[in-house]
Amino acid sequence: MEKFEKLQGVAAPMPLVNIDTDMIIPKVHLKSIKRTGFGKNLFDEMRFNRDGTEIADFVLNKPQYRDADILVAGDNFGCGSSREHAPWAIADFGIKCVVSTSFADIFFNNCFKNGILPIVLPQEQVDILMADAEKGANARMTVDLVTQKITTSDGDVIKFDVDAFKKHCLLEGLDDIGLTMEKAASIDTFEEKAAQSRPWV
């Protein structure tokens, strides 16, 4: 998993509430357990017509937001089923940070395990970021995980909270496997001692 320290990029405004995981990645596309390849199907039913052509007025199809790094969303983002494919699709598309007033718990935790920073802020602060995002590609936000601050294109600074352990994992680029591998030496020592004390196993 890539380290997340500081991100400066374009923020796409998506003020819809209750965006569920089936909207993020429809179940018809859940055909792999690899983390890659799902970005092309992110928000599939909102991005594309049935014939595969793009829906021009969907935010991520607009020229100024095609390379968005940040998503400013409405309340209760990531609700619905607990599919991990949802953060996989978001990350594979290139979005590394999602801001909302609230997230579904499972989706929220899955984001951290897949290199995405989900930020919870009060509505009035999300409104500020939403308005900044609506300015387009020239309005670039900065998300600094080290200092836990978001800086708008106008220089306004918004502080955010993040769990210390989850922050450590993002800063170091550690998913569940990475966390386990940090203990590799201790695991090897345990296995050696176990083999000596129980050679019949």
Does the pLDDT value for residue 116 go beyond 70?
A: yes
Can you list the domains of the chain with their CATH numbers? 6-173 (3.20.19.10)
* Top-confidence residue, 178 or 175: 175
Confidence class of residue 37 from pLDDT cuts 50, 70 and 90?
confident
Report residue 168's pLDDT band, with 50, 70 and 90 as the boundaries: very high
- Count of other CB atoms within 10 angstroms of residue 22: 17
- Number of residues that this document lists for the chain: 201
pTM: 0.86
> What residue type is assigned to position 119 of the chain?
I
Q: What would the pLDDT profile of 20-34 be if each residue is shown by its tens digit?
A: 999 999 887 877 777
- CB contact set of 60 (below 8 Å; sequence gap of 6+): 12, 42, 43, 47, 66, 68, 93
